[in-house]
Structure 1
Amino acid sequence: MWSISYWNWAKPSEVEVDLDIRVTSADALGRLTAMLPQADWWAHRPDQEPYAPVPSSDNGDDPYESLPIHLRHWCVEPESVEAALEAAGGEMVAARWDFSSWPPVPELGLGNTCRCAFITVSFNARSIDPDVPSADHTLYIHTEQFHPERATWLASQVGLKILGEPQMSAL
């Protein structure tokens, strides 16, 4: 199982995690709804017209009759991510860790900032939204728009390197 390690600047009490899970099986749905009973969900219908009604938790629809679905739960404890991944099995999961701020990087002339201080790990998925399946995981480092060098510095702190070009995110 994969686990997150916090850098010495990230206080677990100042971190929250949002989960977005594409659920395709009834078994995974049962495990996930038992663990995250307050999660919202909506049917995954990429081929449907944008304004067509989609079955969802808001409508009181049955998620088992609506598979595949996206299941979303905001503000889970960081310690619960591994249990959610275990419950999800091989389903595609995006977990976003929201930090209170990024640390200062004096060697780059960057102070600490609370803007865009989060990372997303897409498990079994190649995209930031869990839509494109993959046999591995992808880590996204979100930083303020005008300082993408912070992402390179952050990745180097845990022995990683940036593989792609900076991208603008809708988040």
Structure 2
Amino acid sequence: MSNSHAAAVFTTPDLEEALGVVRTFLGIADLTFAEVDFEATIRSREGVAGVLKVLPELNWWAANASEPRSAKTGDDPAQCLPVSVHDWSHPLDLAEPFIRALRAEDAAAVRWDLNGWPEVPEAGLEEISQKYAYLTLSVNSRDLYQYECSPDHTVHVHVRSGRDLDRVRWLAAQVGGHFTGRTELAPL
């Protein structure tokens, strides 16, 4: 297991704009063998219902630790709100339907596990392998762990600890964003 640092490069209250930034980054990345992971705190019945349509076998459990209810025990997640979701290794085409199923009171971190970032010779950037090629959209939150709920959405680019900040700045420039200087440790 390794760790990366997630650098915030773009924040907006407009979900469509955030998704456009993600699509631009996905157009730059090597998507061979790419997959998407979902982590969320779902607080709304509508959010749970919508997410279950996208992921019928959703891996969830009651966020209240004193309630041992979960997908494994066969409980109804709508009766256990809020629920925590950690569901990994899905095809990329499920990301946007999952995101669109969430409601304003639901928060999520959707992480694209990429195959790599390409070399950009004119910017002096070497190719980055799969080990450090991740992209996260925090939905209704500014952080990776949904601690800082907000009415906006933040796109994070993952980098090696203390390295690759030139790539972060270059990627941010591709979408009209900027590196805020804020990074979060992201155990992978």
- TM-score per shorter chain, which class? 0.7 to 0.9
**Structure 2 gap segments, 5+ residues each:** 1-14
> Could you tell me which of 96, 102, 106 is aligned with 2:111?
96
CA contact (8 A) 2:32 2:114 kept: no
Taking only aligned residues, the RMSD between alpha carbons, in angstroms, comes to 2.4
Give the corresponding residue for 1:157. 174
> Could you tell me which of 80, 92, 105 is aligned with 1:66?
80
Identity of aligned residues (%): 30
> Could you tell me which of 32, 40, 43 is aligned with 1:21?
40
CA contact (8 A) 2:32 2:115 kept: no
CA distance in 1, matches of 2:121, 2:183: 21
Aligned counterparts, 1:94-133, within 5 A: 94-107=109-122, 109-114=124-129, 115-133=131-149
SS at match of 1:28: helix
Amino acid at match of 2:107: M
CA distance in 2, matches of 1:165, 1:64: 35
Answer 1 or 2: which has greater helix percent: 2
Give the corresponding residue for 2:5. none
Stretch moving more, 131-140 or 77-86? 77-86
> Could you tell me which of 30, 33, 36 is aligned with 2:52?
33
What displacement does 1:12 show?
4.4
CA contact (8 A) 2:41 2:83 kept: yes
Amino acid at match of 1:126: R
CA distance in 1, matches of 2:55, 2:173: 34
What displacement does 1:29 show?
1.2
> Could you tell me which of 120, 127, 150 is aligned with 1:134?
150
SS at match of 1:169: strand
What displacement does 1:167 show?
3.8
What displacement does 1:101 show?
0.7
**Structure 1 gap segments, 5+ residues each:** none
The alignment of Structure 1 onto Structure 2 pairs a total of residues equal to 166
SS at match of 1:57: coil
